[in-house]
Structure formats: structure tokens, C-alpha cells
A and B are shown apart, each in its own frame.
Chain A
Amino acid sequence: MTDPKTQTGSRQDEFEFFEESNALWWITLAPTTWAVHFVLAYGGTAVWCAKFGETQGVTVARLSIAGLTVLALGFIGWLGWRSVRRWKPRQNDMEDLSHPEGRHEFLGHAAFLLCIISAIGVVYVAMPALFITTCR
């Protein structure tokens, strides 16, 4: 007979492991958004200019990049907000994050920092669309 207490502990461990492995995926979401935004912005513009650039100009591509950028920044903002909630900066200082018990909060902190760099990356990637008004 298994001790019910041990069983509960094991389930608890499994749940925590599941949650942390999810958190590992979670921290990749913002950089992935940045990468997808990059590929769509540059790849989409290249295809548009090759197929329609001479006759229809680049306005559609620029507006699409603007829309994509708003979507990407909105999603990264939401990820950042959720990451801060996981991090709980008011309840944890940096020392807390360096212990195994603070792994959950540490992953929230890391995800938040990746959200910041990804948001900067998305803005930099989109900036050419603000200035360049032709497919040439």
C-alpha cells in the first residue's frame, strides 16, 4: 500500500515538473514571435515586391507590416504581463531567484527580460517600413 501522503507529494512534484517544463516553453514564445515577425515582414515584402511591386507599389506591404507589428507587440506585451505575474517582483528579490525553490519565479523573470529584447527587436525590424516608400 502506498502512503497517501507520499502519493500526494508525488502528484505535487509531477504538477510542478509539468508547470516548469511548460515555463521553459513559455520563455521561448517572445523570441519566437520576434522571429516570425521578422520572417513575415522581410519575406512578405520580398514576395510582394517581386510579384506586384512594379504595378501596385509597396503600400500594402507597409500596412501589413504595421498590422503585424501591432499584433506582435500586443502579444509580447501580454506575455510580458503574464511573466511579471509569474516572477512576482514585489515578493522576490534577486537572491530568491537564485535558489532551486525560486525556479518558477526565475523563469518568469527570464521570460520578462526576453519579452523586452523581443519587443525592441520587433520595433527595429519594422522601422524600415516607416521610411522606405518604394520597392526599389
Chain B
Amino acid sequence: MIVCVAVVGHQNNPLYIQSFTDADDALKLHHIVHCSLDVIEERVNNPKRSGTTLNEAFLGLLYPTVNYKVYGYLTNTKVKFILVTTDLDVRDTDVRSFFRKFHAAYVDAVSNPFHVPGKKITSRTFAQTVSNIVGSYGLN
């Protein structure tokens, strides 16, 4: 189950962060998302060490914590997408397809002429699309 998704700007500022749990661990998820930025930085700065190639936006598993797994995705504009899940075995293809859909939703949201680049995403349509994507995750 996906418990949290986040969009982080290129200055590592949060643009959108939404958790999908009933329990009140939103704060903990914020911490996890924030810490995973370190891994992204490390991976982007030292591309040799990681298996992922430079051309790929999908960064793979960022780091496992006690109960969660964190996946990352980096767009060309240095906007990061982060996914936190509680699933233990995650198929890479699922995560990839999730990020692809998520990226498309993000592009739609920032293409809004009233959106100022670099500001937080407050679009309700975006939130709705994201929750749909999250809901459909892992079903297929």
C-alpha cells in the first residue's frame, strides 16, 4: 500500500506532500521523505556507484526503513517524486508505471497558466488525480 507521495522542488523544498494513512504518522512520513532527499543527492552526485543510469528518471529504491520502503524519481527539471510504501515485495515495473502516471499528472498541474513555477501545488484536480493513481496502484 502506498502511504505517502511527495513532490519536492529543485531546491529541495516540498511542493506537494500527501499521506494516505488513517494513522497519524504524517509527520513521520514527512521525516522519511525529507531524509530520502539525502539518498537522491548521493545517488545523483555519484552516478557510478549506483546501478541506475543517468538517462533514467526512475531512481529505484532509495532506502528501506523499519516499516517502509522509499522509491524516488527525478525529472529533467530536478523535481523529485518520492513514494513511500509499506509493501515488502515491490515489483519495479509497478513503481515505474506509478511514477510515469504521477509525472504526467504533475506535468498537467504545472502546465496550468495560473501556476507559478516553484510554488506549491495547490490544485485540487492534481490531488484528485494523485489519489486515483494511488488507489489504482498495484491492482493491475
| A and B together in one complex | no
Which residues in A have some Cβ–Cβ distance to B below 8 Å?
none
Interface residues, chain B, with chain A CB atoms under 8 Å away: none
